[in-house]
A = this chain, B = another copy of it.
Amino acid sequence: MARKSLLKPTTLATILLIIISFYAFFNTFLSPFINSDNTITPSNFPFFESSLLSTPIISESSNSHKVRIFLYDLPRKFTYGVIESYLIRSSSSSSSSSIDDKLKYPGNQHSAEWYLFSDLVNGKNLGEIIRVLDPEEADLFYVPFFSSLSLVVNPIRPNVGGGNSGGVVYSDEEMQEGLIEWLEEQVYWKRNNGWDHVFICQDPNALYKVVDRVKNGILLVSDFGRLRGDQASLIKDVILPYSHRINPFNGDVGVDGRKSLLFFMGNRYRKQGGKIRDLLFQVLKDQEDVIIKHGAQSRESRRMATQGMHSSKFCLHPAGDTPSACRLFDAIVSLCIPVIVSDSIELPFEDAIDYNKIAIFVDSDTAIKPGYLVEMLRKISTKRILEYQKELKEVKHYFEYEDPNGTVKEIWRQVSLKLPHVRLMVNREKRLVRRELIEPDCSCLCSNKTGTT
């Protein structure tokens, strides 16, 4: 009897091995599944609270390092309501589209605001972050106002014939003010002076009226063309790529299908830094292997641009009204090597991407010297072109908003990198004492180079 009730040492060892293996199996294979569904946090999944061994499962899991984001449940008018207003405006001027229950964000270069919002709602492409439903648990707070679309509905300078027709009055400025009013009622907004809040304002003019009131936050922007150094910086904020507007080139690297040397299609006349465009037109328009065309936004233009970018070796990227433009990202997904003539451009994800490997930078003064650009580009060997194309292919996914390993995931990684500074500023401001300063209290990272050629 006694012998029967005891297990043999080998059986005991087997059971122990099975238990250990089972634990290891769970730890290795099942926790990633749970991690990938970012709506389940360790604390509300009971199995992971109790540990079979003393090894801490939770702190070892990949979620423990993730930055916790709270998505504000903004009043509908700041999200879907903006789409509705856009559709009302479009339908009253063109009568072609109708509003139904399935609101579709219009295709435009500022659709990051849509992807970030809808992917957060659906728990998709979160990468280094995890969405938490309890604001008490949050490291950062995302404010999903569609600020760029709001500006499209009611631009600062309305288009002739456009504007708020059909009797519907929509005011982007009122929306901006309304957002601040709503925020000022939120306890978490006031708690840390906004340092831990994330705003998207991808159009350089988005949120222009209230930017001074949200400037402590992490701003997701296209460039700093409309922002002062005390409002935005590479340290505090994240540079986003525009959504590309033409279809990606899905073929392989090569020059056989790329007969033209350099391609550009876009508005010839822009303000400020964009004045370079007309000068570039003048020096490039008579070169035989260069295609340079004036064109405005339209479906037909996009078709022609796709054709042009897919069949050219290099694609010109001059500054627009501000240093950035969506054309750069069209060129990248077309494997058309960007030739960037925009002296003050800032580029997305530059800690991860060495743009020197995928693009050619030319300062404005040099670029407009007659003959310079084409002669320089013609000298670049096919071997070197293929190297650029291979690198473009490597980094292309960073500019695909719908790629699971693409833009949205990378934006959240960039946001998560800001957290140490956010915490530093929050803690530091709490204990700063009154002091007499001659200069503003800033911590900076400065480039020593004023430029290279």
A interface list, Cβ under 8 A from B: 20-25, 27-29, 32, 55, 60, 62, 65, 193, 216, 229-230, 233-236, 343-344, 347, 350-356, 359, 361-366, 417, 419-421, 423-425, 427-435, 437, 439-453
Shortest beta-carbon distance from A223 to chain B in Å: 13
Distance in angstroms between the alpha carbons of A420 and B365 in the assembled complex: 31
- Indicate if the CB atoms of B233 and A443 lie closer than 8 Å: yes
Contacts of A442 in B (CB 8 A): 229, 444-447
Quick one: which of A233, A356, A432, A453 has the most chain B CB within 10 A? A432
Distance in angstroms between the alpha carbons of A432 and B447 in the assembled complex: 10
A437 touches which of B352, B419, B423, B450 (Cβ 8 Å) = B450
- 15 A–B contacts from the bound complex (CB under 8 Å): A21-B21, A24-B28, A24-B29, A28-B55, A65-B65, A233-B444, A235-B421, A347-B431, A351-B421, A363-B433, A425-B447, A429-B448, A433-B452, A433-B453, A442-B447
How many copies of this kind of chain does the complex include? 2
- Indicate if the CB atoms of B361 and A444 lie closer than 8 Å: no
Shortest beta-carbon distance from A164 to chain B in Å: 36
> Nearest CB to that of A452 among chain B residues?
B432
A351 touches which of B25, B423, B446, B450 (Cβ 8 Å) = B423
Shortest beta-carbon distance from A438 to chain B in Å: 11
Shortest beta-carbon distance from A100 to chain B in Å: 43
- Indicate if the CB atoms of A230 and B446 lie closer than 8 Å: yes
- Indicate if the CB atoms of A428 and B27 lie closer than 8 Å: no
Contacts of A352 in B (CB 8 A): 423
Distance in angstroms between the alpha carbons of A366 and B182 in the assembled complex: 38
Contacts of A361 in B (CB 8 A): 431-433
| Additional A-B contact list (16), CB under 8 Å, known A354-B430, A441-B446 | A20-B25, A20-B29, A21-B25, A229-B439, A229-B442, A235-B235, A235-B444, A344-B435, A347-B431, A350-B428, A361-B431, A363-B435, A364-B435, A429-B449, A433-B452, A434-B452
Shortest beta-carbon distance from A274 to chain B in Å: 16
